[in-house]
Amino acid sequence: MAFVSLSEAEKVYIVHGVQEDLRVDGRGCEDYRCVEVETDVVSNTSGSARVKLGHTDILVGVKAEMGVPKLEKPNEGYLEFFVDCSANAAPEFEGRGGDDLGTEIANTLYRIFNKSSVDLKSLCISAQEHCWVLYVDVLLLECGGNLFDAISIAVKAALFNTRIPRVRVLEDEEGSKDIELSDDPYDCIRLSVENVPCIVTLCKIGYRHVVDATLQEEACSLASLLVSVTSKGVVTCMRKVGKGSLDPESIFEMMETSKRVGKALHVSLQSVLHKEESLGPKRQKVGFLG
């Protein structure tokens, strides 16, 4: 994680404000900062998205490539995650710091994106022989707090934007199989992201907890709870981070908050994604260099 140094007076100011449900930037404890989402920003991918959450800037690209199903799951395709923590995003990401955080984020994404959230069977072309493998590359361009939430939003948006070419398996008289890829860009498979969860991170500050913490607020928190929540408010995964402890009552309250906030987050995200798609070629593209 990126770190910021605060004086004792600044910490006291932030902590006391949170207890009164008033944060430094004027938000309440359950309010997100403005989220900017743009899809189809990288041309040589099957799907892509860029998400800005405050000063946190994330770029995700999805590349669909043909592979062989895993032995234990012969009827399914699968997702592979790679997270690149750019040293430009935060000085702490230089060298091993960035590698360790990238591995931690990737492992969290593997836990969240399983067959209950993505229809992996739809990625199977021919059982035991051919399947689609989705390589999901996450690039941290800037770190301004609340990385996990921003990354999960960007991954969901990129998967929504992903288009996989339709494939036909042709078998000749001798039984050998040939794969034919459709060359029509509109003849493609779309993934359903209805059950794909988003992560809601709740930082415990004093006696209260906040969502979408800034770097300064994260510096005042000793423990956080990462909760992945579906659009129906179902919790699919939970993980505690930080050196501090959380009592059972706090965990229960944080889970209830995550369900409430997560459902609202999904509604807003789906609305933005469908609105952007409805504009078609007419929409103005900013791109990840904008």
Q: What is 203-271 written as a DSSP string?
A: EEETTEEEES--HHHHTT-SEEEEEEE-TTS-EEEEEEESSS---HHHHHHHHHHHHHHHHHHHHHHHH
- For the beta carbon of residue 201, count every other beta carbon within 10 angstroms: 26
Per-residue pLDDT at 5 exceeds 60:
yes
Instruction: Considering only residues 114 and 234, tell me which one the structure prediction assigns the higher pLDDT.
Output: 234
Provide CB contacts within 8 A for 90, sequence distance 6+.
2, 143
Give me the pLDDT at residue 87, please. 73
Per-residue pLDDT at 113 exceeds 90:
no
66, 131 contact by CB (below 8 A): yes
Closest C-alpha among 261, 181, 193 to residue 47: 193
User: What tokens does 102 get?
Assistant: 């990238």
The whole-angstrom separation of Cα 198 and Cα 124 is 25
Give me the pLDDT at residue 1, please. 59
Give me the pLDDT at residue 35, please. 93
CB-based burial of residue 284 (10 Å sphere; 0-12 exposed, 13-18 middle, 19+ buried)?
exposed
Point out the least confidently predicted range of 24-33, 98-107, 146-155, 257-266: 98-107
Per-residue pLDDT at 21 exceeds 60:
yes
Instruction: Give the whole-number percent of the chain exceeding pLDDT 70.
Output: 91
115, 68 contact by CB (below 8 A): no
Q: For domain 8-280, which architecture applies? A: 2-Layer Sandwich (3.30)
Instruction: Considering only residues 171 and 212, tell me which one the structure prediction assigns the higher pLDDT.
Output: 212
The whole-angstrom separation of Cα 275 and Cα 278 is 5
The whole-angstrom separation of Cα 201 and Cα 219 is 14
The whole-angstrom separation of Cα 89 and Cα 175 is 53
Pairing of strands 78-85, 130-142: parallel
The whole-angstrom separation of Cα 168 and Cα 182 is 8
> pTM for the whole thing?
0.90
Rg (CA), the chain: 21
The separation between CA 36 and the C-alpha centre of its own chain, rounded to angstroms, equals: 14
Confidence category of residue 85, pLDDT binned at 50, 70, 90: confident
Per-residue pLDDT at 249 exceeds 50:
yes
Per-residue pLDDT at 226 exceeds 70:
yes
Give me the pLDDT at residue 2, please. 57
Give me the pLDDT at residue 51, please. 96
User: What tokens does 42 get?
Assistant: 């990288």
Q: Residues 24-33: pLDDT tens digits?
A: 999 999 999 9
Q: Residues 46-83: pLDDT tens digits?
A: 999 999 999 999 999 999 999 999 999 999 999 999 99
165, 65 contact by CB (below 8 A): no
Average pLDDT over residues 260-287: 84
Give me the pLDDT at residue 290, please. 47
Confidence category of residue 16, pLDDT binned at 50, 70, 90: very high
Per-residue pLDDT at 228 exceeds 50:
yes
- For the beta carbon of residue 119, count every other beta carbon within 10 angstroms: 16
Which residues on adjacent β-strands are paired with residue 136?
A: 62, 81
Average pLDDT over residues 278-283: 71
Point out the least confidently predicted range of 21-30, 174-183, 244-253, 271-280: 174-183
Give me the pLDDT at residue 282, please. 63
Instruction: Considering only residues 225 and 127, tell me which one the structure prediction assigns the higher pLDDT.
Output: 225
213, 147 contact by CB (below 8 A): no
Which amino acid, one-letter code, is at 105? I
